[in-house]
Amino acid sequence: MEVKMADHYNAFISYRHAEADIRVAEAIEKGLEQFHVPGKIRQKTGIKRINRIFRDKDELPLTSDLTAEISNALENSDYLIVICSTNTRESLWVPREIEFFLRNHTRKQILTVLVDGEPTDTIPEVLLSEKKTVKDLYGNEQEIEVPIEPLSCDYRMPPKKAKKEELPRLASSLLGCSYAELMNRRRQYKIRQLSIIFSAMLLVAIGFGAYMFYSRKTIIESRKALVESNEKLLQSQQELLESREKIKENYNTALRNQSRYLANESKRLMDEDLRTTALLIALESMPAEGKSGVVTPEAIKALNEATYAYQTTFGFDMNPIWNYSLPNTIRSFEVSYDGKHLAALDEYGTLVVWDTKKHHEELRLTSESMYWTGYSFTNDSFILWCYDSIAAYDISDFSLRYELHLDHSVHNLIYDYDNKNIILIGMASDPDPFSVKNYMIIKWLDEITGQEIKTKLIDDNNNSCYLNTAKLSPDKKKIAFYASTLDSTDRYYMVYDSETDSITRTDNIGKTSACLGWTPDGNLLAAIYQDDYQMYSFLNETYLKTDHIKISCLDVNTFEPLWSYDFSTNDISQGCRFYNLEASNSILFYCGNRAVTLDEKTGKMLYDHNTNDTIVHVDDNNNDGLPMYITSNGGIIYPSTSTSNNALVQKYNLISSVSSADVCSGIFVLRKNGKDVIQYDLNTTDDSFNKTSGIQPLKALPTSTYVAGDVLLIYQSSIEVPELDVIDIRSNNLLYSISFSLPENTDISFLSSDYDKVYMYYVNNDTIFLRTLNIPTGKYEDKAIAKDLKSFIYPTMNDSIITSYSLSKDDKAYILIYDVTTDTARTIDIPEDLGKPSSSPEYEPLTKTVLYRDDKGSYLLSDSGKAPVIIDFPDDWTANYNFVSGYTEDELAAFNDKAIHVFNSSGTVTASINTPGRSPVGMSFCHTSSDDIILVTYNDGSLYRYSLAGEFIGRTDISVYANAPNNHTYEFDYTDSLLYIHFSYMTDIIDMNGWIEIANIQNVLGYSNEADIFYCYEYNNDSLFTIGCFKRYTTEDLIKKSLGILNGTTLSDDIKSMYGITDN
């Protein structure tokens, strides 16, 4: 048969698909196809080039035969090149390809290439011997195996050397010439090439010499032009560098803006409780790993918030921990009975099951395979059904157990937990093609195998019916139905008894059933709307009225009412339901915004609860017989039985517009028209909280705390014997606890620390006492520093200085200034023309003066004998203000609710600032790269920056408690450009480059800037306070923490598209 050119190959390369073999095979294929055939060889052989080498790039399956393509290529190749290595003999396909090639070729057409090892160890055995026919002594012909050692190309040498020396061996065989001839022709070709190049270079040199000889003047002029050109080039390069810097600046600005945008989006998503998406977007606001970029304070704040960094337990906190997303609006969701799995179905038929602990997808089905309309978890399976099919997956690994196609429709599925059976409820058509009659069908299947156990076909008195609701009785022997005729003229309840195989039904109830249920003792519960129309909301139209529902408990055999209750609601229902409160032997029914609890025996109303919002879920998760309600606005509501029977209390708020919810190992919520199921949990905290060893939980918050170097001091005065706990911050261990008794009705204040000592003071019996604690020994001593005081105003502290107004028993007024570190005291006599101070005097260390206030004005007093300096405050300025000092004698300030005044040591007011309609709660001077500025925090959670001249610079929103107390203190870390604002068990961290709050830490007891550790407490459910600490998170720490929480979860493609995020 004639071989077409399209099917002809110069060689076929056979090799094992291992890394080294692939590398050599690729090099040989490329080298042969690019091999230059010398002209003499072309004339002799007629082969212009080697242009067709076949190399199969795909590994064939072990069980497959040679494909038609490979078989054709082997049959139509001139040569077979076998790549031989220590991997070759493990290959099943190389021997097959050799065997197939030898069917219509000779062994001389097989070439071998050594990659590694020795020839006897690597060359396929079929090529190491050949059969020969010989005659024995008697002249008989015999066929024997004769060992041979084929000539191989050696590719064990470096690649360049192999290409130069060994590749031509292969080429010579393919070209039909000897290796020596080919190498000689190649050398001749290179010599001719070099000769041509040398001749050309010689001609160029001669021409250039002539040119240089005859054009010297032109060269000089050219040199001048070149110098001018170089100068212009340098100028252009400078402009290019400036342009590049501008481009880089614009690029970084764009990166910063993108980071801020994504960080703000992360905050918005956190506000919508979409924590997982918020965390993923927060990570995207950071520079990608291994790439340059900018880190914005907004991005750091987003990571802090989304990771719940520094968050500790405080009572009962309800926070979102995960959101499970689908591409489209979610129609429904269900949580397995053990809370370990979540399934959700969207409006386009995508169904996903997740592990609720690891948050990984376990199963994803799309409408391309089957449009499932219903699903349910059982003990061991996940069941799905659609119109005429059912499938079951093993819940342990979500492998498919079975899929059944039925000859009837499926309307409902009930699971029998006692017998582990699936009960299908559906409709079957009459076999008569001319009949429109329907039959109700009940089918029992084995949960594990899907094997049919029993089928019941119900002919409902020759009436075609439509099945609406089905409920299994507590004893699993009866099934109650609400059904209607196809034209809805008849509506009725039916009960099928599987023990007697009998059906009972009510007469036409004539009304719409709201829901069905069972009492624990097996009576039927029915709720029937008493009106023809109910409240509804559609698009922009809402139909409002009062809906009336009759609740009845019916004898299951006679359908006679055992008791009834008239129920009404004035809110649109998102579903009605009976709920058995077994602990209180009662039945709860809810619809709209109202729920009633009825005695299951008598129907007596026990509780009547109005939640003022639509109820979407009821649960008794703690089995105390009292319901927990979840409402559409996200409220979690409990009865307040201590107040009254019908009183309610709302403890938590979930996301608003809740359409459905479930409670099982957490709370799962679906928002109206939402694409996410949100999982909430109690007491979601930062698991990096490191509890302090050796200290017992506290029964009350500490009276005061103080950080002194590497120790934290906790003073408790509320216990029977006041106690001081000393904690080593570095090891987070309790060093010791000591009794810290004080005189009755006396409290102590921390003042300062000095190496291994901590100074405190207290006042008792007209005497100021200094208490000094020796930290290493735990011993302390008291010393009276001012005695026999007739009256005084409570002392003030400024670092290590105690300042106190005192009136001695001889009526001499003076100010005591005591330095605890030097154990020295001095006094300032108060001039007689000054009145009694209106507030405590305050010491100013830079000017070594005391701020003194009376009803007439404010003064700076010194002990140098100088006259008091009158501060030039406005006439209407009140003496009730706070005082702060800065870094120079000109940086003194006072503030109250109305204004801030900056003044100097001469008493001159240099700037006045009116407060912006809110009260300052803290103030400080601050260094910046350009100048000192003034910082003021206000009680609405704002931090204002002013110049020393009083000009407004900017505002930062910070976190504060409602009605923030007037005790803000400032701690500056100028190395890392961070500001710590401390107040009332809370610390805000401010990035001073962008003036953005990057973290808010609550329940704070103290911060050690030396160890960079925050000490906090958590408030447990047993009303105890546990002490522990956090190391301050770096940006790298937050990224690592985020990745750990996400555990491999990534953004979906549609979210990436929404935010313009790419993988590049």
Query: 1007 near 999, Cβ under 8 Å?
Result: no
CATH number of 5-177: 3.40.50.10140
| Cα 374 from Cα 345, distance rounded (Å) | 9
| Cα 53 from Cα 11, distance rounded (Å) | 5
Of the candidates 770, 698, 765, 778, the residue with the CA atom closest to the CA atom of residue 735 = 778
How far is CA 139 from each of CA 130, 143, 152, rounded to the nearest angstrom? 21, 13, 36
Residue 189, φ and ψ in degrees, nearest 5: -65, -45
The tokens for 698 are 């506290």
> Any idea where the domains of the chain sit in the sequence?
5-177, 241-309+1035-1064
Query: 961 near 915, Cβ under 8 Å?
Result: no
| Total length of the chain | 1064
Of the candidates 1029, 964, 1020, 954, the residue with the CA atom closest to the CA atom of residue 992 = 954
| Cα 39 from Cα 102, distance rounded (Å) | 32
Query: 496 near 456, Cβ under 8 Å?
Result: yes
| Cα 268 from Cα 282, distance rounded (Å) | 11
pLDDT at 3: 42
Query: 153 near 113, Cβ under 8 Å?
Result: yes
User: Tokens 């910070």 label which residue?
Assistant: 958
pLDDT at 702: 92
Type and span of the H or E element at 876:
none
The tokens for 530 are 């008493």
- Average pLDDT by consecutive 10-residue portion of the chain (1064 residues)? 61 90 91 87 86 77 69 91 89 88 89 89 84 71 76 87 88 86 81 71 66 65 80 84 86 90 95 96 89 88 96 84 95 94 95 95 88 91 92 96 91 90 88 73 93 86 69 94 82 91 90 93 94 82 89 94 95 92 94 95 95 94 90 93 86 91 94 95 90 93 92 90 92 94 85 88 86 94 80 71 79 84 86 85 86 89 84 82 88 91 93 92 91 93 95 94 75 94 92 95 94 93 90 95 94 90 79
The tokens for 1019 are 């408030």
Rg (CA), the chain: 45
| Cα 905 from Cα 451, distance rounded (Å) | 96
In single-letter form, the type of residue at position 777 comes to T
Of the candidates 4, 23, 3, the residue with the CA atom closest to the CA atom of residue 15 = 23
| Cα 241 from Cα 294, distance rounded (Å) | 21
How far is CA 407 from each of CA 416, 441, 721, rounded to the nearest angstrom? 23, 11, 81
Of the candidates 375, 356, 357, 477, the residue with the CA atom closest to the CA atom of residue 416 = 477
Of the candidates 311, 345, 316, the residue with the CA atom closest to the CA atom of residue 328 = 345
Instruction: Give the E-state strand segments of 311-372 in sequence order.
Output: 318-325, 330-335, 341-346, 351-355, 361-365
Query: 839 near 878, Cβ under 8 Å?
Result: no
How far is CA 340 from each of CA 681, 882, 1031, rounded to the nearest angstrom? 14, 57, 33
How far the first Cα of the chain sits from its last, in Å, is: 54
